[in-house]
Structure 1
C-alpha cells in the first residue's frame, strides 16, 4: 500500500502493525514486538485492554455524540474523578494535547485582561514542546518545529529550564506584564530532561509571590507515567492550571485542561468551546482508564519497574563510550548518546523486536506501558544495550562520555529518579 496520498509530515518506519495486546504489537507478517514507546506515552494500560474494549464497544452501541449543548453524564463523571485525583476544581475537555495547551494559554490571556494588562506575557522554558498549533508552537522551542511558521502569534518569555533565578530576573525586567508560567515538569521531546529537585516547588512559590498562574503541561508526564498520577505530586504542590491528553484516552483522542481558584472561574458561556471535546465515548474511555490504573495498582508498578529499568540501564551502559547519560523518573527514561545514530529505532525493531523512540536526534526515549513486569524490563534492557553496542561511536566522542559517566556515578539529580 502506498503512502503517496499522505502529506509528508512524518517519515514513518517501513513497519505496520496489525494488532496489539498488552505490551506487545504484531506486524503484518505476524512478528511480535515489545512496545517500549506505548504510542509515545499513550497506551499506559496496554493495547486492547479487555475492559476498554468492552467499554468502547458498549458505548459505541449506545451514544457517540450529542454536543456540549446538552449535559453529558460521562463528561461530568470523568471531570469529578480528575478533580478528586489532582486537587484542581474544574475541567474543560478537548480532543488533543495541543488543544488543551491552547485552552491554558487562553486562560492566561483572559487572566491578564482582567488585571488590565494590555500586553500580557507568559513565561515558557527553553527546549520546551507544547504542541504544533500556531499558538503552542510560539510557546515551544526548537528551530526544526518552528521553521517556516514565523511570525508566530503570542507574547512569550523563554528562560532556562531548571533555573529559578531566571524567573526572578525576568520579573525584574518585565514586572506586571508577566501573568503565567507554562512548563513541563519533565521535558519529554527535548530528551527526558529532569529539573533539579525542589524546582517545581520554587516555581510554585514564585507564582504565589508575584500573582502568576502556574500552568503545567502534564500531557506526557500525567496519568501515572512517573509513578504518581501527576508529576507535580512528587513535590507536594498543586498548579493553578494543568493540561492532559495522551494516556488519558489510551489511544482514543481526548485532552483536558484543569484549573483551580481564580483560573477556574475565568471562562464564561461562549468564551470557549469544542464540537467534539468531552463526547460520551472519549470520556467513558478516560474514566475506565483511571479505574484500571487504580484497580491494577499501576502507579506503584510504574514507580517500581521504572526504578528497576533505570538502575539496570545505568549499570549495563556504565562503560559504553557512546552513552553520555541515563536519566528518568518512573517509566519515562532517556538515554542520551554522544552523537546521533541513524536509524536506531529501525535497528532496534528489526534486530531485537523492540520498539523505541529517538528524540532530538540522539536521546533514546523509553515510555513503556505501565503494565510491564520484571521480565519485560530485562527484555528492554537487553534490546537497548545490544542496539547501542552494535553502533559504536566516533572515537573523538569518548572523552566527553567518560566525564558524564563519573557524574552518573555520583548520582547527580539528573541521573536518578526524583521523589
Structure 2
C-alpha cells in the first residue's frame, strides 16, 4: 500500500465510531497504569455508567479532581461559551479569562502573583525552581543556598525534580541519577526537620495533608514550626495544595484552617473541575525572580482552562458549599465508623473535609487494591493511598443519599470479603 493510499484510508475512517473495549488499553497504551476491567462512558454529578450500562457511585472524583462532579451544567456552559471565542494563544499574548482568574485567586488568598501551568507536577516544578532562583538572586552563587527539605512519603508529581522531592523511592529509584540537594525528614517530626533546615536551605515543601502518603494531616504545631524555621533561615515555605485545595478540606485552601501562611502555594486537581490546569501562587517579592524567559509553558493560562477554573472557584468559594463539605465529612466518618463497628476492618479513619483515609488492619492489611476491585463490582468507585489505605475524594457537592448508598455498597463488599 502506498503512503497516499494509507493516508486516504485514515482520512475516510471515522475514529469516533471505532469500537473499543478494555483490552484495547493493553494493546495500544504504554502500560504506566493498570485500569479497572471496564470502560466508563457517561457521568452525571456523582454517578457514572460503563459500556454495559452498569451504574457506579463515584467516591474517587478523578483523584480529587472532579470537585463539582461530572458534567456540571455551569461548567459545561462556561466551556462551551469560551470554545466559541478563543481556544488557545501563544504565550506572547494574554487573554481575558486568565487575567480574571489571576485576580480571583489573588483576591481570595495571600498571593500577589500567579503562574499558570497544566498540572500539579508542573506547579510544584515551578515552585521549586522559583525558590532556587529567588535564593540565587538574593544571596548570590557563593552562598550555595540551594538545598530543599521535603518529607518522606510525600507526593509532589512525576517530573524528575518533583518525584525526587516526593520522598517515595518506589517512584524515583528507576530514574537515577536524581537531582541533588534534596533532603527528607519524617512527616510531622519537627525535630528531624529542624536538624536538616539551615543556612543552605532555600525551600521547605510540605503537604498540609499527605494525600498519596496515606491521608495524614499535618499537626498544627508541625506546620507552625516549619514556618518559624523558614523565617529563621530565610527559606521559602512551599505548601503543596494540589490535592487539598479548592474546597477539598472545607476551606478554599487548607492553609486557611490555621495561622500559617506559606510563601508559595501550588494548586491543580480540583482547580479546573476536570479540565487540566495548575497554578503556583506567591508574593510579589518572590515572584519577581521569574523574569521574562526564565520559566514557561505552552498551554499554561489557556483560555479554555482558565475560563472553567474561574467558574469552579466562583461556585466553590461559597460559605454554604464549604460548610456542606464539613457536614459531608461527618456523614462519611459516621458511615465508615459504622462499618468498622461491624467488621473491625479499620485501624484509623482520618482526613479533613472530603479527603478521607481509612487505614486497614487485620486480614485486610495492605489489601486496599483487592477491596477496591471488589467494590467496583458492587458499583462504587474508591481510591487507595498506598496499599493499606482506602481513600475517598468525591465531588464536594455529592448528595447525602449517594454517600449513604455508596457506603452501603462498600459495606456489602467488605461483608463478602470477610
Q: Normalization by structure 1: what TM-score?
A: 0.89
Greater CA drift, 86-95 or 206-215:
206-215
Q: Which residue of 2 aligns with 1:96?
A: 119
Are 1:324 and 2:347 matched, yes or no?
yes
Q: Which residue of 2 aligns with 1:168?
A: 194
Q: 1:128-159 CA distances to partner (integer Å, 9 max, x unpaired)? A: 01011111111012232113111111421100
**For 1:131 and 1:181, how far apart are their aligned partners in 2?**
16
Give aligned pairs, total.
388
Q: Which residue of 1 aligns with 2:260?
A: 237
The offset of 1:325, in angstroms, is 1.2
Q: Normalization by structure 2: what TM-score?
A: 0.89
Match of 1:127 among 153, 172, 178: 153
**For 1:146 and 1:277, how far apart are their aligned partners in 2?**
26
Q: Which residue of 2 aligns with 1:362?
A: 388
Contact 2:207/2:240 (8 A) holds in 1 = yes
Q: Which residue of 1 aligns with 2:107?
A: 84
Q: Which residue of 1 aligns with 2:315?
A: 292
Are 1:254 and 2:281 matched, yes or no?
no
1:161 counterpart SS class: coil
Contact 1:103/1:257 (8 A) holds in 2 = yes
Q: Which residue of 2 aligns with 1:70?
A: 93
Specify every segment of 5 or more residues in structure 1 that has no aligned partner in the other structure, as ranges.
393-419
Q: Which residue of 1 aligns with 2:61?
A: 38
The offset of 1:17, in angstroms, is 1.1
Q: Which residue of 2 aligns with 1:144?
A: 170
**For 1:17 and 1:361, how far apart are their aligned partners in 2?**
24
Q: Which residue of 1 aligns with 2:402?
A: 376
Match of 2:370 among 339, 343, 355: 343
The offset of 1:212, in angstroms, is 1.2
The offset of 1:34, in angstroms, is 0.7
**Residues 373 and 348 from structure 1, CA distance in 2 versus in 1: closer, same or farther, beyond 3 angstroms?**
same
Q: 1:21-46 CA distances to partner (integer Å, 9 max, x unpaired)? A: 11111111112111001000000011
Q: 1:31-82 CA distances to partner (integer Å, 9 max, x unpaired)? A: 2111001000000011000111111111111110112211211111101111
**For 2:231 and 2:343, how far apart are their aligned partners in 1?**
44
Larger Rg: 2
1:297 counterpart SS class: helix
2:317 counterpart SS class: helix
Greater CA drift, 151-160 or 5-14:
151-160
**For 1:295 and 1:111, how far apart are their aligned partners in 2?**
35
Greater CA drift, 222-231 or 146-155:
146-155
Contact 1:52/1:285 (8 A) holds in 2 = yes
The offset of 1:281, in angstroms, is 0.6
Q: Which residue of 1 aligns with 2:213?
A: 190
**For 2:330 and 2:344, how far apart are their aligned partners in 1?**
23
Match of 2:288 among 240, 252, 265: 265
Q: Which residue of 2 aligns with 1:410?
A: none
Contact 1:88/1:238 (8 A) holds in 2 = no
| RMSD over aligned Cα atoms | 1.6
**For 2:406 and 2:263, how far apart are their aligned partners in 1?**
37
Are 1:181 and 2:207 matched, yes or no?
no
